[in-house]
Structure 1
């Protein structure tokens, strides 16, 4: 059976194109499983997985937990709020205490970039990065690619993908750029000058500050949330002004000379980056992304457990 080239999923940057292909092909099989009347398989029956979340999460945490239970793994959930972390316990001590309970795999979200990398070099368990600060969010990029391939009916080589919104504070943007480029896609980032890092062009992506130009150019628009909770200063005058210049409406989509696919990793700020009629339009595959997230995370956990 084919195996991943790594025993951890720390970021898309560490994966080979073959790794990405293997994960997406495996996810296709698991999507069939979760659409059956009996949605469980015994693949990870002897594996214990701890979801260790030091940041708030709804979609990602629920998706991982559901994926683990669909694979028949034993699941332990840890939340930093109400834990000994509040008493000053270190990340490594916290995780080592969890591992002492015979846990095989750690799924971790942390606000500090590089935390999963630090952990993976110090513990024997497999580590899955469920988001580290503004750095990477690999499973989101994989489920986005899976959703695009499903909708476009094939691989992404030569496809045009626009990532629109708060690029500076988004871990989804960086993981998507790496993932799409490794599949041969052409990538553009679009947003206000203040929300696009200066190094973006060096990554080999196009840069635009005109949302209509980006929509006209792309096959898929992946729209990102304005992450006000990560912004220490004001990057634009107001949400109303951002919406005026970079918000996407159903009318804008309908005026394009060809249909495009609309995506969003959630949660959506309705009326800011997307109007409700755009988010709920036939262009949108936002709820498909949520469904595909479970299948992709099942694939990641299953493949890492084979190491």
Structure 2
């Protein structure tokens, strides 16, 4: 196998085209890193660039902690403080960092489809930290990891994903990953937030039906879309699609609540539920570090 092919295989662009065996391998390796010590020199001398062309807090810090625990040198790049503001293309920026000797790049961006084009041209491994409404593979992997730790296995679970499916990269990556591991996925969303192209892969159900799943995953309401007419008000959204205390009482006794964060408390989920016993929201955040350690190791080790 050529060096180029080896590195291409180490890209992580999404879960849609990642095999079941490889997904399970990442989850298993994350379990190892969760049990291991906090810092290892595994990637000593390697340089990883976190290239965030879109704002992020949890994802960027999670990657940075993961990289440093593996002993890598971390370069943090923010588009707002870069030549991108002066008109430099994303490709030129990534190509520049590659020319300086980075060993891998973690990229978050708004354009859809651009990441795949970059991966064809850039020789270092690239890891998708979220691209448009396409995919967010490491978020889905940490979600899968959280479910597997909770239930023992994912096969046979029913997972309801509730909210703005149309604009959600989290929903898409979870759909592909969950189905490959044998779970049933169903969506619940207002008519104007449904993604028609995904209807052949998962049914759209009512809120009452969604609550009968093993996992109820609430998506963040992008309140900025209020100005574009997707939601009339936060209060109305909560009334029809929010996970209220009353609705949580309709869930199965063993069911769990998940959310990719950041959370709009009192909108998609009531404040009292964010840290309740059945909520796994902060557990998901914690699980993000070993998952990203496994992904970075896959790219570089």
TM-score, structure 2 as length reference: 0.94
Deviation at 1:97, TM superposition (A): 1.4
Distance (Å, rounded) in 2 between the aligned partners of 1:4 and 1:294: 23
**Kept in 2: contact 1:250–1:281 (CA 8 A):** no
How many Å separate the matches in 2 of 1:252 and 1:187?
20
SS in 2 for 1:199: helix
Match among 24, 27, 30 for residue 30 of structure 2: 27
Aligned-residue offset at 1:232? 6.8
Q: CA distance change for structure 1 residues 257 and 20 in 2, over 3 Å: closer, same or farther?
A: closer
Shift of 1:137: 0.2
Q: Which runs of 5+ in 2 are unaligned?
A: 1-5
The alignment partner of 1:287 has SS state of helix
Is the contact between residue 103 and residue 125 of structure 2 (CA under 8 Å) also seen in structure 1?
A: yes
More moved, 253-262 vs 176-185: 253-262
Structure 1 residue 90: deviation in Å?
A: 1.2
Paired residues of 1:165 and 1:195 also in contact (CA < 8 A): yes
Instruction: Identify the residue that residue 264 of structure 1 maps to in structure 2.
Output: 259
Q: Match for residue 99 of structure 2?
A: 100
1:181 and 2:194 equivalent?
no
**Residues 211-247 of structure 1: per-residue CA shift (max 9 Å, x gap):** 122112x000111011234677212322111100111
Count residues with an aligned counterpart: 296
Measured in 1, the distance between the counterparts of 2:231 and 2:87 equals 36
What stretches of structure 1 of length at least 5 have no aligned partner?
none
Structure 1 contact 60–130 (Cα < 8 Å) conserved: yes
Partner of 1:83: 82
1:211 paired to 2:207: yes
Per mean C-alpha deviation after superposition, the further-off stretch among 248-257 and 87-96 is 248-257
Choose the corresponding residue for 2:275, options 248, 257, 280.
280
- Runs of 4+ that moved beyond 4 A: none
1:299 to 283, 294, 297: 294
Q: Report if the CA contact (8 A) 1:140-1:293 is conserved.
A: yes
Contact 1:265 1:286 in 2 (8 A): yes
Q: Provide closer, same or farther for how the CA distance between residues 94 and 5 of structure 1 changes in structure 2, counting only shifts above 3 A.
A: closer
Partner of 2:3: none
Q: Does the aligned pair in 1 maintain the 2:223–2:234 contact within 8 Å? A: no
Distance in 1 between the 2:252 and 2:110 partners? 41
CA distance in 2, matches of 1:168, 1:285: 24
| TM-score normalized with structure 1 length | 0.93
The residue that corresponds to 2:153 in the other structure is 155
